[in-house]
Amino acid sequence: MSEELVFIMGKFAAKFPTDRLYAKNHMWAQASGRGYWFGFSAYAVRLLQDVYFLEWSVDAPQRLREKQPIGNIESSKAESELYAPASGTLTEFNDLLMKDPTPINLDTYGPGRLFHMECDDVGFLSPEQYQEHLAAAWKIAEKTIKGQMNE
């Protein structure tokens, strides 16, 4: 097991391995072959809680642009559109998640991985930069959770 950093979300800890990079949309990127496998960070999984439905609106292989909508996810806390973390070619989905997305909840850094992409330009964050990004994102999330966004 690789080293990991921890980000405290109120009374919960979100752990994330240091052997991969991170996108600002709370996905991790781990080098594999000519591209990267992507999945949700523990921070995203904690906010979503209990993912029970995943649907892709694109097919593989397909050329994507960064922030292009690629699918939808439903959980006990939210329904969210999913976006490409980078520009490049989506080469493969983790088809096991289409039958049962439970691995996202149980091991997002392993069997819960989402898809593979060959990326044009890798502008991802280091684990340390992602931890800083989480600190800023958590302040906003915390206000939203407490219903204080417009204060």
Question: CB 144: neighbour CB atoms within 10 A?
Answer: 11
Rounded to two decimals, the pTM is 0.86
Looking at the domain assignment, is residue 151 inside a domain? no
Write down how long the chain is. Answer: 151
Rg of the chain taking only CA atoms, in angstroms: 15
| pLDDT recorded at residue 101 | 94
User: How confident is residue 31, by pLDDT bands cut at 50, 70 and 90?
Assistant: very high
94 occurs within a structural domain: yes
With respect to residue 148, please indicate whether it lies within any of the assigned structural domains: no
Backbone angles phi, psi at 128, to 5 degrees: -70, -40
Expressed as residue numbers, the domain containing 44 is 4-143
Q: What's the chain's average pLDDT?
A: 88
Q: Yes or no: say if 87 and 66 are a contact pair by the CB < 8 Å rule.
A: yes
Give which of 106, 117, 100, 102 is closest to 27, Cα–Cα.
117
Tens of pLDDT, residue by residue over 87-133, are 999 999 999 998 899 999 999 999 999 999 999 977 899 999 998 88
Question: Does a structural domain hold residue 59?
Answer: yes
pLDDT for 1: 47
Q: How many domains does the chain have?
A: 1
DSSP 1: -
Q: What is the CATH number of the domain that holds 130?
A: 2.40.50.100
Give ∠ CA 137-113-123 in degrees, rounded to 5.
50
